[in-house]
Amino acid sequence: MEKILVGLKRVVDYNVRVQVKSDGSGVDTDGVKMSINPFDEIALEEALRIRERGEASEVVVVSIGSSDAQQQLRTGLAMGADRAILVETENSMDALTIARVFMAIIERENAELVILGKQAIDDDNSQTGQMLAAIWGRPQATFASELRFDGETARVTREVDSGLETIEVDLPAVVSVDLRLNEPRYVKLPDIMKAKKKPLDQISIADLGVDTAPQVKETLFEPPAGRTRGIMVEDVAGLVAALKDKGLV
Amino acid sequence: MAKILVVAEHNGTTLNPSTAKCVACAAQIDGAEVDVAVFAASPSEIAAEAAQISGVSRVLTVAREENGVAIAAILAPQIVALTSGYSHVFGPSTAFGKDLMPRVAALLGVNQVSDIMSVEGSHRFKRPIYAGNAIVSVEAPADSTVVATVRTASYQAAEGGNSATVESADVEVDLPTHTRFVELQTGQSDRPELQVAAKVVSGGRALGSEENFDLIFKLADKLGAAIGSSRAAVDAGYVPPETQVGQTGQIIAPDLYIAIGISGAIQHITGIKDAGTIVAINKDEEAPIFEVSDIGLVGDLFNIVPELTEMLG
């Protein structure tokens, strides 16, 4: 295939434990480390491997958000993507509008495969890939843990609750990736230098002529109700006694 | 008035308990009338099960050969064809529902509410974000269909004893052929399934090898428990991915959860915080798992687990 699109979302780093703002208006992201959504890194790694096997000729990374997301796109270029597109918006975006933005990019780029993370670790929605496949009218292979191509079809193994499901999809298609698909490569310093010269197009969301979808409003953020620390027992006999007390064994 | 369509999850022959949990969630909306839709090759037995769920008004069956295995691209247009007259469409936040429901939402031109953990009004819900580090209240637009997934760990399955009417529905839509089922590999096991088990014994990286996980299996079998694991244990190849509990694995709410050699990263805790009783066994007394456990025991799992298995005998 000619071209693969990969979505990269800028999110609060995996290791940061976010705090809810005291006025309930959001979570505090001031001065917090930001990274590529870990699932999106796996998506990009897979796209690069497909290109390196000679099964695709170009990998384009796409991010939708503020101009700060250039940082994540540069990292994607350093990993090995050929080009980057930043669709700029200052508004917080909903999944359906993002899917429509991707659709507009697919049409501009004539892409045959879109690889996305199965969820973003900030909103934990897990929607964009499925929505994109729906409006594109194409197959979706979500939660992928293995991906192989045979001409105009892809065979995808998916992580489902009961085990591993394999499906066959015709291309073009949308794939959303799970943790076990691959281990993303580390970026080396010379690659970071090289990435500075690679093209990064910035386009405004207004230029794409995308209709904004009806929003699900976020009205209040609260910290979760915590579990409280229970008892400590000294030994196995104490544990068995405590379980018996609760009628659990 | 709210009229809610719940999309049934099943394996072709029996109904998944996630369906009764979605019904329980839907029933919390004031004045809700709840119907269940069963898409299958031969839906009658599954529909009979769904008809018993308390709170269900009608069960709609759509029998088509193409519905033999659940494929989102095939189910979504059929669901959309059924949604006229419904204010809400709910599915479970399991792999099945997470795959399917956003496709339904996009075809309807609406956003989806993922992982409802509580109902605050007909269009107002609470859901977890940031691996459960924050809970957000959301409000879906009043003038369009609410498409949502239900966080099954937040709900007890609605009880049985009902006898709702079962009707077959005609759905005349063209179905795509671009997505084809090849095979499903399931871990051959007599143990209960993770999602529905009352007890779960879960192992982490500290087990150290695939062979050592045998300790977990033996304890689980003594208790009649399902097997769970941390991401670290799956990444190390000790157990298959479908055992993983947490933000990116399965979210569960068993009566008893025993975490063995699991330190308790927030991403893991978010998968178990609705469990009845959490037991933690870990050699590190500072491990975060002890902050959320009801019963903690500090020590070497390689001594404790065999002894515990023995004493429960």
Taken in order of first residue, the domains within chain B and their CATH numbers are 3-168 (3.40.50.620), 199-311 (3.40.50.1220)
A137 domain residue, yes or no: yes
**What average pLDDT does this structure show over B71-96?**
97
Asked if B136 is an interface residue toward chain A (Cβ–Cβ < 8 A), one would say yes
Which residues, in sequence order, are bridge partners of residue A113?
Answer: A4, A173
**Following DSSP, what letter does each residue of B165-213 receive, concatenated?**
EEEE---------SEEEEEEEE---SSPPTTT-SEEEEE-GGG-STGGG
A247 domain residue, yes or no: no
Of residues A96, A38, A39, the one with CA closest to residue A64: A96
A18 domain residue, yes or no: yes
A123 domain residue, yes or no: yes
To the nearest whole percent, how much of chain B has pLDDT over 70?
100
Q: Which domain holds residue A110?
A: 3-224
Of B11, B102, B135, the CB nearest to A127: B102
Instruction: Please tell me the total count of domains within chain A.
Output: 1
- Measure A221 CA to nearest chain B CA, in Å: 5
Instruction: Please report the ipTM that was assigned to this predicted complex.
Output: 0.95
* pLDDT of amino acid B188: 67
On the question of a cis peptide bond just before residue B77, with omega within 30 degrees of 0, the verdict is: no
* Confidence grade of residue B313 (pLDDT, cut at 50, 70, 90): confident
Q: What is the pLDDT of residues B110-160, one digit of tens each?
A: 999 999 999 999 999 999 999 999 999 999 999 999 999 999 999 999 999
Which residue of B lies nearest to A37 if distances are taken between CA atoms? B130
Residues in chain A, pLDDT under 50: none
* pLDDT of amino acid A219: 96
**What average pLDDT does this structure show over B188-205?**
90
Q: What is the pLDDT of residues B232-267, one digit of tens each?
A: 999 999 999 999 999 989 999 999 999 999 999 999
Q: What are phi and psi of B87, to 5 degrees?
A: -90, -25
A186 contact partners, CB below 8 Å, separation of at least 6: none
**What average pLDDT does this structure show over B62-66?**
96
Considering chain B, what is the average pLDDT of its residues? 96
Residues B138 and A216: beta-carbon distance below 8 Å = yes
A235 domain residue, yes or no: no
Which residue of A lies nearest to B113 if distances are taken between CA atoms? A216
- Measure B126 CA to nearest chain A CA, in Å: 9
* pLDDT of amino acid A38: 97
* pLDDT of amino acid B190: 82
A213 domain residue, yes or no: yes
Which chain B residues are Cβ-neighbours of A92 within 8 angstroms?
none
A249 domain residue, yes or no: no
Q: What are phi and psi of A66, to 5 degrees?
A: -75, 170
Residues A174 and A129: beta-carbon distance below 8 Å = yes
* Confidence grade of residue B82 (pLDDT, cut at 50, 70, 90): very high
* pLDDT of amino acid A92: 83
The domain that contains A90 carries what CATH number?
A: 3.40.50.620
CA–CA dist A8, A15 (Å, integer): 18
Q: Quick check: B187 pLDDT over 90?
A: no
A60 domain residue, yes or no: yes
Give the pTM: 0.94
Task: Tell me how far the alpha carbon of residue B231 is from its chain's centroid.
Answer: 18
